[in-house]
Structure 1
Amino acid sequence: MGCDRNCGLIAGAVIGAVLAVFGGILMPVGDLLIQKTIKKQVVLEEGTIAFKNWVKTGTEVYRQFWIFDVQNPQEVMMNSSNIQVKQRGPYTYRVRFLAKENVTQDAEDNTVSFLQPNGAIFEPSLSVGTEADNFTVLNLAVAAASHIYQNQFVQMILNSLINKSKSSMFQVRTLRELLWGYRDPFLSLVPYPVTTTVGLFYPYNNTADGVYKVFNGKDNISKVAIIDTYKGKRNLSYWESHCDMINGTDAASFPPFVEKSQVLQFFSSDICRSIYAVFESDVNLKGIPVYRFVLPSKAFASPVENPDNYCFCTEKIISKNCTSYGVLDISKCKEGRPVYISLPHFLYASPDVSEPIDGLNPNEEEHRTYLDIEPVNLLVKPSEKIQVLKNLKRNYIVPILWLNETGTIGDEKANMFRSQVTGKINLLGLIEMILLSVGVVMFVAFMISYCACRSKTIK
């Protein structure tokens, strides 16, 4: 009788030990199985889940615009007053809905090349108004003309054409015209060949960005989507030294197994440079745990604060010998047009940048970049020979608009991801913990009972 009881207790303890060991073994084995599956499915080649969603994004991507409407154009032109602006928006477009084109695999170096076609569809339900809404903004052609053509004789000719076309420093344009292009009356009078259509994003529809050549990850999963070349080059030819390098991905995707300690590098052709983001916080996105990475203020700092940024400093007048910060001159890659980029409302910029502009309210929570925000500003300078700019007594970096491009995972996709990925991972983790916990409890309980019984028998 005593033997049967002791044998049963020992058997229970053994079963508990086996369960605990099995649960413990399942942890690393399960992680290995998950990693193996992920590595197989994130390779950018025909037949994988990643490739299907990479060729044509499985999420809705929206680009929202906020326009800075100038409230006192006459005061600025006559008295060189501060520019008073009023933010209006958002105006929302659906973008990145077109599949990648000319997708070509190269087995020799494990890369895939493609073109990213551009297209934008206005979304009235997600906008505060229509594409016909009017805004008073800086005259793009007039501001660019005085910057591109420095010769005073040429500026005198341009001045006569500006006056003849009744153009001014500021203009009223619809949203559609401002973003996607309009025939400029001043440029239409210029006798030599010149583009007469002007727009902040002209041309856009029916164009394509690239060619991009990225690693497919077949030989090294940590290189998935990392850009090898852009338009056949590994450098941009805009900047000096490391600033000219094309680093990371295009920000649409990153290699798997991202760690919080990582610095995420990515390249944006819109802002003509590579940039980076650092971990900020854990975020729950529709039941899916994700990491939030943000662009740090250090990325926009002056070389005085961040020596690595010395090669982004180009314009000595605007940057005040590289001590001013928060804006980047990208005119070199915008055909000489005086385009400057910054964070919205000149967030993280030095006080001298925003001093001539009234109506800006930089807010870190609202205006930080979670990877894809691109503000657009234009430089306008005084000009003795161009009448509409003659009364200006200082330089202005005039904010035109800022935008936020957001990829939002739909409920259907989120449910599928939770059921097929996070759900299975959580279930596996739950099974591991149950086996380990039950096994340990059973082993300890049966061993205590066995020891108690043995002590009674000995007595």
Structure 2
Amino acid sequence: MSCSTKCCLIVWSVIGGLLAILGGILIPVGDTLINKEISKEAVIENGTIAYENWIETGSPVYRSFWIFHVTNPDQIINGGKPELQQKGPYTYLVRYIPKANVTQHQNSTVTFWQPNGAVFQRHLSIGSEEETHTVLNLAVAAAPAMFKPFQGILNNYIKKSNSSLFQVRSVKEILWGYTDPFLQQIPLPSLDKTTGVFYPNNGTADGPYNVYNGKDDISKVAIIDKYKEKSSLSYWSDSYCDMINGTDAASFPPHVKNNKRLYFFSSEICRSIYGLFKNEYELKGIKLYRFVVPKESLDSPDKNPDNHCYCTDESISRNCTAAGVLDLSKCQGGKPVYLSLPHFLHASEFILKSVNGLSPNEEEHQTFIDVEPITGFTMHFAKRLQINIMFTRSNKIEIMSKLQTDFVFPVVWLNETALIDDERAKMFKSSILFPMKVLEIVQIVLITFGSVVFLACSITLCVRSSRK
């Protein structure tokens, strides 16, 4: 073997080794650079990708409603079992107003208000929002619980206003409010005479929220520090249930783990809750983790002791053994509002069987959040809830004196959902995923090419030397 050939093989062997080493070095160095860039873009600060999607939702958020139409109101009043039919969807565009009064603080938090609004979407709805249905009379059903000592007087007001336990109302009235003739009879100047499942909504704002912006610690970005200027709630009279945990579910801190709970807080359900990892899948070329709200989050305290403080009335909950419903009366001004999953999914059998016409199934009625694990950005979600009114038999109110049982009565269920659009997905892939993919390819090419060259040249040197 000539000197020139040997020298050439040695040189290429060294070059190959160096290339392989460089590729290996790029793995931790590249990860560091990527993490640094992600940490930079995930901060809630003007100019970052996270801020642009945080201040105003990048993809449209829709809220679809299904009204529970009552087909046998007279029979129910006379002791019959309710027959229900869901009518919908009636869909509205929500979360289209940017966050208001955004204020950055020196302690690495940011304060804001979330404005509420809803714009009807006829093309996504089964009919007009002026369509009418026979539904539970919200004011009449709730009044006995709110004015317990005065049920005899309430009976007179109900009769005087020609009201009943059920009424015919438009979708718009049911959801967003109407002036109630029964409430108008009650001589309390401070009592709001307007009622509706989501009244008031338009023109209001939720907050203030105070969340970590991630500037000092990216692992805390978007996590709620305070809600309404308090670090805990006051609804449940228990330090555990009153905790405010996690984010508002619009995003999460980077590097989401699939073996840990994903906590988030919702003011609508007056508590923090969590999702458990279900599966990994790809959406528009982006790998996502799906987290679902599990059955145990609404289990009875005898099955899930963590829920002990959500049991607020032992008689209604059958000595705290009922599952699937959450009493929201303390955070709804005393109104007997009970929350559940749609169609009483995961609720106790006696609750589901108290009415006819419901068909719960997880695929249609389960709440889930799909998160891009590297950045923590939420790319797809579906928040599904059912609003129910609790009322009982009352001998002092004529239209409620013959009821067959106590009811957690379904009024409406909703599905609030958003899906990253094609343009946003393309932008995310080009700005976040593409550089990562390029770096990964470079690492693989350097390690593979360098290793092949090094081994080939080294083996050739050894073989030729042994022959010589």
TM range (shorter): over 0.9
1:325 to 323, 326, 338: 323
2:82 is aligned with 1:83: yes
Q: Tell me how far 1:19 sits from its aligned partner.
A: 1.5
What corresponds to 1:297 in structure 2?
295
Residue pair 2:110, 2:212 contacting (<8 A) in 1 also = yes
**Two-structure CA RMSD over aligned residues (Å):** 1.2
Partner of 2:199: 202
Distance 1:172 1:48 in 2: 49
> What does the per-residue CA deviation read over 1:94-150, in whole Å, with 9 as the maximum and x for residues that have no partner?
11111111111110x211111111111111111111101212111000011111111
Corresponding position of 1:105: 104
Which residue pairs with 1:36 in the alignment? 36
Aligned equivalents of 1:170, 1:122: Cα separation in 2: 25
In 2, the alpha carbon distance for the partners of 1:374 and 1:415 equals 31
Deviations 1:179-208 (A, max 9, x none): 000111111121222211111100000000
The partner residue of 2:219 within 211, 219, 222 is 222
Q: Which amino acid aligns with 1:277?
A: G
TM-score, length-normalised on structure 1?
A: 0.96
Q: Give 3-state SS (helix, strand or coil) of 1:142's partner.
A: helix
Unaligned runs of 5+ in 2: 370-382
Q: Match of 2:218, as an amino acid?
A: I
Alignment counterpart, residue 421 of structure 1, candidates 432, 438, 448: 432
Partner of 2:12: 12
Name the amino acid aligned to 1:222: S
Q: Distance in 2 between the 1:86 and 1:176 partners?
A: 18
C-alpha distance in 2, partners of 1:435/1:400? 63
Corresponding residue for residue 372 of structure 2: none
How far 1:216 sits from its partner (Å)? 1.1
Q: 3-state SS of the aligned residue for 1:68?
A: strand
Report SS of the residue matched to 1:99: coil
Superposition deviation, residue 48 in structure 1: 2.0
Aligned pairs for 1:348-363 within 5 A: 348-363=346-361
Aligned to 2:188: 192
Question: How many Å apart are 1:277 and its aligned residue?
Answer: 0.9
Shift of 1:420: 1.3
With structure 2 as the length reference, what TM-score do the two structures score? 0.94
The code of the aligned residue for 2:63 comes to R
* Aligned-pair CA distance for 1:386: 1.0
Determine helix, strand or coil for the equivalent of 2:15.
helix
What residue identity is the alignment partner of 1:169? L
Quote the offset at 1:281 in angstroms: 0.8
Residue type of the alignment partner of 1:449: T
Distance across 2 between alignment mates of 1:174 and 1:437: 68
TM superposition shift of 1:236: 1.4
SS of 1:66's equivalent in the other structure is strand
- Which amino acid is the alignment partner of residue 445 of structure 1? A
Q: Judge conservation of contact 2:62–2:417 (CA < 8 Å) in 1.
A: yes
Q: What is aligned with 1:69? A: 69
1:305-384 correspondence runs (5 A): 305-371=303-369, 372-384=383-395
Query: Which residue of the partner structure matches residue 52 of structure 2?
Result: 52
CA contact (8 A) 1:340 1:377 kept: yes
Deviation of 1:49 after TM superposition, in Å, equals 2.0
Q: Secondary structure at the match of 2:26?
A: helix
Give the secondary-structure state (helix, strand or coil) at the position aligned to 2:154. helix
Return the alpha-carbon distance in structure 2 between the equivalents of residues 424 and 81 of structure 1: 65
Matches within 5 A, 1:444-459: 444-457=455-468
Query: 1:77 Cα shift?
Result: 0.9
How far does the alpha carbon of each residue in 1:163-183 deviate from its partner, in whole angstroms, 9 at most, with x for none?
122111111111100100011
Whether the 8 Å CA contact 1:77–1:391 is kept in 2: the answer is yes
Which residue pairs with 1:94 in the alignment? Answer: 93
Aligned length: 453
Residues in 1 aligned to 2:467 and 2:318: alpha-carbon distance in whole angstroms:
90
Distance 1:66 1:13 in 2: 70
- Give the corresponding residue for 1:388: 399
Give a deviation string over 1:322-369, Cα, whole Å, max 9, x none.
111110100111011110001111111111111111111111121111
Q: Deviations over 1:8-61 (max 9, x none)?
A: 222222222112111111111111101001111211122222122211121211
Q: Distance in 2 between matches of 1:415 and 1:60?
A: 16
2:176 is matched with which residue? 180
**Residue identity matched to 1:443:** F
Deviation, 1:241, is 2.6
For residues 209 and 414 of structure 2, the distance between their equivalents in structure 1, rounded to whole angstroms, comes to 24
Determine whether 1:213 maps to 2:207.
no
Instruction: Report the counterpart of residue 159 of structure 1 in structure 2.
Output: 155
* Aligned partners of 2:329 and 2:335 also within 8 Å: yes
* Contact 1:13 1:446 (8 Å CA) reproduced: yes
Choose which of 228, 232, 236 in structure 1 pairs with 2:233. Answer: 236
Which shows bigger deviation, 332-341 or 443-452? Answer: 443-452
Q: Are 2:80 and 2:404, in contact at CA under 8 Å, matched by a contact in 1?
A: no
SS of 1:83 mapped into structure 2: coil
Q: Look up the match of 2:451.
A: 440
Q: Percent identity?
A: 53
Deviations 1:360-410 (A, max 9, x none): 111112111115222111112111111111111310111111111112111
1:2 alignment counterpart:
2
Q: Please give the per-residue CA displacement for 1:230-280, whole angstroms capped at 9, x wherever unaligned.
A: 111112111023001111111111111111122111111111111111111
2:121 maps to amino acid: E
Instruction: Tell me, in whole angstroms, the C-alpha distance in 1 between the residues paired with 2:334 and 2:162.
Output: 24
Distance 1:418 1:206 in 2: 36
1:122 corresponds to: 120
Q: 2-side partners of 1:441 and 1:434: how far apart?
A: 10
For residues 318 and 354 of structure 1, the distance between their equivalents in structure 2, rounded to whole angstroms, comes to 15
Q: Which amino acid in the other structure matches residue 91 of structure 2?
A: T
SS in structure 2 at match of 1:47: coil
Cα contact 1:93–1:123 (8 A) shared by 2? yes
